[in-house]
Amino acid sequence: MGTDSSTLFGALFETLPARHVVPVLVPLPAPGPYSYAVPEGMHVEPGAVVQVPLGPRQVIGVVWDGENDGKLDPKKLRPITSAFDCPPLSKEMRRFIEWVAGYTLSPPGLVARMAIRAPAALDPEPMVEGLRYLGGEPERRTPARAKVLDIVDGDIPWTKAGLAHAAGVSTSVIDGLIRQGLFETVFLPPPPVVAKPDPDYSPPRIEGPQKEAAAEILELVRKGGYSASLIDGVTGSGKTEVYFEAIAETLRRGKQVLILLPEIALTASFLDRFHDRFGARPGEWHSDLAPRMREKVWRGIVTGDVQVVAGARSALFLPFENLGLIIVDEEHDPAYKQEDRVFYNARDMAVVRARIGDFPIVLVSATPSVESQVNAQAARYHLVHLPTRFGDAALPDLHLIDLRRHPPERGGFLSPILVRAIGKTVERGEQALLFLNRRGYAPLTLCRVCGHRFQCPQCSSWLVEHRFRNQIQCHQCGYSEPTPEACPECGTLDHLVACGPGVERIAEEVEKHFPDARTIVMSSDMLGGVKRLRLELEAITKGEADIVIGTQLVAKGHNFPLMTLVGIVDADLGLANGDPRAAERTFQLLSQVTGRAGRTGLKSHGLLQTYQPQHPVMQAIVSGDPGAFYEREITEREKAVLPPFGRLASIIVSADSRADAEIHARGLRAASPHVSGISVLGPAEAPLALVRGRHRFRLLVHGRRNSDMQAFMQAMMANGPKIRGSVQVQIDIDPQSFL
């Protein structure tokens, strides 16, 4: 009997059209899509953005590819709640999402989630109320009314505010005219989020080495199809102008452009510059965007109304209607790596997106990553070189200050040589930048009497003193407490000492030497957030500060016309941290910071304080021959079979208890398959052994260049211990951080 009825039902369901059941990717860490029934009368195709029930909730999902094999009973499946009125994610976009999920070993639903937005974004924008002049004269033609009537005619509708603004009157004047029946109400389509950029608005005169560089890139853009280029040019060589040419050409071809920037929230000057060139700002995409604006920009991107987007790494997952070019500016920047949920490097994934979408990508940097250098040498990337600064701007003169021979005064951190240079700069009415990549006052506080060190209660990191806020703070988890007066260990009052400098402490020293100078301290944790930082950057640009003390925040892309001295307080800081990219990173960061000086033709200097003047990184920076440094780095990486000559993947196992984390990590190690060319290092307790109360262990998987790391990791996970209790496992393919 049982068999009979199942055959019967089976036959019945086979006659139903397959589209009655569709796979839908939901924002969950599941290995694949879930099946949903399509209600009568609803039409969905792969890529459609839909709302579906998931447990007790409603979530947004994407209808995925793949045929229903007819075995699933639509009656037993929950139906799709609604389909949104927006274009479906393109086939390329769906392939890209699958590719990223497969490469990073992330659940595809979590990757897809980065591409879609909240439902409100999908509803069409409401019409805007407007006014149309019907003709006729008011009872009294006051001067204010005349101003309005002089600019209106019957054909062009206005918004009330827009008309008042254009006529230079208050809206009450217009209200008066409406009451007299001179205007009718009309409904206007909503204004665009951003105006259309005009490729021919204000093209520069491209000359010299720029001309050749632009011509090469333009040729690739015109030819169409996938190509990858690397623009390698010193700071201020005109790289931006060159890629603007590629953008202009792409716009002329009616395609969209994505510009990735590492620190978009702070690059107001970039947006202005884009405006100067194209007569409109690009759409912005970053975490500081107001929610309403986010929705509008998203919608504009999906419909193709927003033609150019400048965004942080997450912009890479926006479902452009017709993307035709990606620019990755400062391609070497570590900010392109996301280390949260889906671990990916936006620079590398951007190349994948261009390949799948079959369009050009341009990587840009003054200090390209070793990976990109190697790709250029192997002709996988087309190399465009800009060796000199544009116009009469010269690169700063760079010198090392050997701190062993010219030590700072007792209790200070600035060598007399640097102090003197700052004094001369300020006297000339120019600006000095002091760079130290450390927030707060001091990285460590201890008790002089008993030696107690202030440590975060939930992380293995010191509490950093922030004197401006009178707090000690953990830079891992944000934990903070008021700066104590007594030692909690021995109870002694007023014997706490600050060890080492942060930017706030350098500011104190500067204040002592130059009490009359106008100083600004800039770091990402200052009160007032991005708004204040933007205002301060503007103030610096206008010359309203003499001495700027900042973290890497000031290093990125800014153009300060009066800045002629850059002092690096601790050039050795990034070198000794066990990271295989430490030398490369230090070289990049220091080159970028010193590159802030002398961008407008004034003679400029860079002074680097170091205890290791012979270190290859220091020598590379002052020699003006970065080529030799890169050659050496590349040779060493090749010898050690490190990326890009070999492959790395890391696994971080964390748990509430140290034992649980360690046992699980050991289990994974034991479960690793034997594959020639791949080896597993660890598990070892992570350098950051405790974060937010979670104990961490690390495994590092090392493979040869052609190793199938993903298959290896998947086998490890499948054969390894079941994840239970508080245990969490994070996989990081191509890790950048080893903490």
Give the residues lining the site for ligand ADP (CB under 6 A): 204-206, 210, 233, 235-241, 390-391
DSSP letter for each residue of 579-596: -TTHHHHHHHHHHHHHTT
Give the chain's length: 739
Query: Closer CB to ligand ADP, residue 330 or residue 584?
Result: 330
Query: Closer CB to Zn ion, residue 446 or residue 459?
Result: 459
Contact (Cβ atoms closer than 8 angstroms) between residue 247 and residue 308: yes
When CB distances are held under 5 to 8 angstroms depending on the partner's kind, the choice from Zn ion, ligand ADP, none that residue 121 binds is none
Tell me how far apart the alpha carbons of residues 312 and 328 are, in angstroms, rounded to a whole number: 10
Query: Closer CB to ligand ADP, residue 24 or residue 214?
Result: 214
Q: How far is CA 677 from CA 227, 702, 709, 719, in A?
A: 31, 8, 10, 20
Asked if 112 interacts with Zn ion (CB under 5 A), we say no
CB atoms under 10 Å from CB of 85, counted, come to 9
When CB distances are held under 5 to 8 angstroms depending on the partner's kind, the choice from ligand ADP, Zn ion, none that residue 241 binds is ligand ADP
- Distance between terminal CA atoms of the chain? 63
Asked if 477 interacts with Zn ion (CB under 5 A), we say yes
The two structure tokens encoding residue 316: 């890479």
Query: Closer CB to ligand ADP, residue 212 or residue 305?
Result: 212
Q: Could you tell me the sign of the dihedral formed by the alpha carbons of 616, 617, 618, 620, in that order?
A: positive
Query: Closer CB to ligand ADP, residue 561 or residue 677?
Result: 561
When CB distances are held under 5 to 8 angstroms depending on the partner's kind, the choice from Zn ion, ligand ADP, none that residue 83 binds is none
Helices (H), 305-357: 346-357
Query: Closer CB to Zn ion, residue 476 or residue 714?
Result: 476
The least CB distance from residue 393 to ligand ADP, in Å, is 7
Segment interacting with Zn ion (CB under 5 A) among 432-440, 468-476, 599-607, 664-672: 468-476
When CB distances are held under 5 to 8 angstroms depending on the partner's kind, the choice from ligand ADP, Zn ion, none that residue 311 binds is none
Asked if 474 interacts with Zn ion (CB under 5 A), we say yes
Tell me how far apart the alpha carbons of residues 58 and 119 are, in angstroms, rounded to a whole number: 11
Segment interacting with Zn ion (CB under 5 A) among 326-334, 451-459, 534-542, 565-573: 451-459
Query: Closer CB to Zn ion, residue 307 or residue 461?
Result: 461
The least CB distance from residue 687 to Zn ion, in Å, is 14
DSSP letter for each residue of 402-461: ETTTSPPPTT--S-HHHHHHHHHHHHTT-EEEEE----SSBSEEEETTT--B-B-SSSSS
When CB distances are held under 5 to 8 angstroms depending on the partner's kind, the choice from ligand ADP, Zn ion, none that residue 477 binds is Zn ion
When CB distances are held under 5 to 8 angstroms depending on the partner's kind, the choice from ligand ADP, Zn ion, none that residue 368 binds is none
Asked if 688 interacts with Zn ion (CB under 5 A), we say no
Q: How far is CA 373 from CA 231, 384, 561, 705, in A?
A: 10, 11, 30, 16
Q: Are strands 444-447 and 496-499 parallel, antiparallel or unpaired?
A: antiparallel
DSSP letter for each residue of 258-305: EEE-TTGGG-HHHHHHHHHHHSSPPEEESTTS-HHHHHHHHHHHHHT-
Which residue among 479, 481, 634, 641 contacts Zn ion (CB under 5 A)? Answer: 479
When CB distances are held under 5 to 8 angstroms depending on the partner's kind, the choice from ligand ADP, Zn ion, none that residue 250 binds is none
Q: Which amino acid type is present at position 460?
A: S
Query: Closer CB to ligand ADP, residue 112 or residue 590?
Result: 590
Which residue among 459, 464, 555, 733 contacts Zn ion (CB under 5 A)? Answer: 459
Query: Closer CB to Zn ion, residue 300 or residue 440?
Result: 440
The H or E element spanning position 96 is: helix 91-104
Residue 658 has phi, psi (to 5 degrees) of -60, -40
How would you class 495 by CB atoms within 10 Å of its CB: exposed for 0-12, middle for 13-18, buried for 19 or more? middle
Asked if 456 interacts with Zn ion (CB under 5 A), we say yes
Residue 380 has phi, psi (to 5 degrees) of -75, -30
Place of tokens 């640097």: 418
Asked if 463 interacts with Zn ion (CB under 5 A), we say no
Count residues binding Zn ion (CB under 5 A): 7
Q: Which amino acid type is present at position 274?
A: F
When CB distances are held under 5 to 8 angstroms depending on the partner's kind, the choice from ligand ADP, Zn ion, none that residue 206 binds is ligand ADP
When CB distances are held under 5 to 8 angstroms depending on the partner's kind, the choice from Zn ion, ligand ADP, none that residue 103 binds is none
Which residue among 82, 476, 612, 726 contacts Zn ion (CB under 5 A)? Answer: 476
When CB distances are held under 5 to 8 angstroms depending on the partner's kind, the choice from ligand ADP, Zn ion, none that residue 459 binds is Zn ion
The least CB distance from residue 564 to ligand ADP, in Å, is 16
DSSP letter for each residue of 146-170: HHHHHH--SSS-B-HHHHHHHHTS-
Q: How far is CA 685 from CA 477, 647, 658, 665, 736, in A?
A: 19, 22, 9, 10, 18
Nearest to 509 by CA among 596, 593, 442, 588: 442
Tell me how far apart the alpha carbons of residues 596 and 192 are, in angstroms, rounded to a whole number: 36
Query: Closer CB to ligand ADP, residue 236 or residue 682?
Result: 236
When CB distances are held under 5 to 8 angstroms depending on the partner's kind, the choice from Zn ion, ligand ADP, none that residue 474 binds is Zn ion
Tell me how far apart the alpha carbons of residues 323 and 304 are, in angstroms, rounded to a whole number: 9
Query: Closer CB to ligand ADP, residue 25 or residue 327?
Result: 327
When CB distances are held under 5 to 8 angstroms depending on the partner's kind, the choice from Zn ion, ligand ADP, none that residue 724 binds is none
Query: Closer CB to ligand ADP, residue 214 or residue 289?
Result: 214
When CB distances are held under 5 to 8 angstroms depending on the partner's kind, the choice from Zn ion, ligand ADP, none that residue 456 binds is Zn ion
Residue 128 has phi, psi (to 5 degrees) of -105, 140
The least CB distance from residue 120 to ligand ADP, in Å, is 37
The least CB distance from residue 240 to ligand ADP, in Å, is 3
Asked if 393 interacts with Zn ion (CB under 5 A), we say no
The least CB distance from residue 391 to ligand ADP, in Å, is 6
Query: Closer CB to ligand ADP, residue 130 or residue 598?
Result: 598
List residues binding Zn ion (CB under 5 A).
456, 458-459, 474, 476-477, 479
